[in-house]
Amino acid sequence: MNSSSNLINALFIFVLAGFIGFEVIRRVSPLLHTPLMSLTNALDAIAVVGAIVLVGEHQSTLSTVFGFIAVVAATSNIVGGFLITDRMLKMFKSSRPAAKPAAKSVGK
């Protein structure tokens, strides 16, 4: 009953989100493919929400232990992923504002 309509909803969301992802990521400059990967990695660690609930609900020892390790793993991805993406993007600088070298002629 309810679960099958949930399932259909979920499938709709999955397909549409996949579409959006495809269209958005196709436009990402190849220049930024490495930061893109570390960013999606951080975003993917949103799986932490499922793990948090597992730990918090304390339903069984096994689920709590697994959940605990899962929260640690995902959190380290969130923190590390955002940190390194930010560090990488800070490094990308354009030469245009300081319109310089290449145009000059061979002085000496």
Partner 1 sequence: MTTDLAGGQVIIEILYLIASVLFILSLKWMSSPTTARHGIWAGEIGMLLAICGTLLHHGIVDYKLIFIALVLGTIIGVPLGEVAMTAVPQRTALSHAFGALCVTLVGSAEFYLRAPDISRFMMAVLSLEVILGGLTVTGSLMAAGKLQEILPQRPLTYKGQNLVNFLLLAGALAIAVTLVRHPEARSLFPFMILIALTFGVLLIIPIGGADMPTVISLLNGYAGLSAAAMGFVLDSKLLIIAGALDGSSGLILSIIMSKAMNRSFTNVLFGAFGQVQAAAAAGEEARPVRSATPEEAAAILSAANRVIVVPGYGMAVAQAQHKVRELYDALSKRGVDVRFAIHPVAGRMPGHMNVLLAEADIPYDRLIEMEEINGDFPQTDVALVIGANDVTNPAARSDASSPIYGMPILDVDKAHTVMVIKRSMNPGFAGIDNPLYYLDNTLMLFGDAKAFVGSIVRELTGGHG
Judged by CB under 8 A, the chain residues 17 through 56 that form the site for partner 1 are: 17-18, 20-22, 24-56
Host H or E run for residue 76:
helix 61-91
User: The tokens of 47 are what?
Assistant: 């799986």
Interaction of residue 1 with partner 1, rule CB under 8 A: no
Q: Residue 81 CB, nearest distance to partner 1 (Å)?
A: 6
99 contributes a contact to partner 1 by CB under 8 A:
no
- In whole angstroms, the minimum distance from the beta carbon of 33 to partner 1 comes to 3
Tokens of 25: 């990521």
CA dihedral angle for residue 79, residue 82, residue 87, residue 93, rounded to 10 degrees: -170
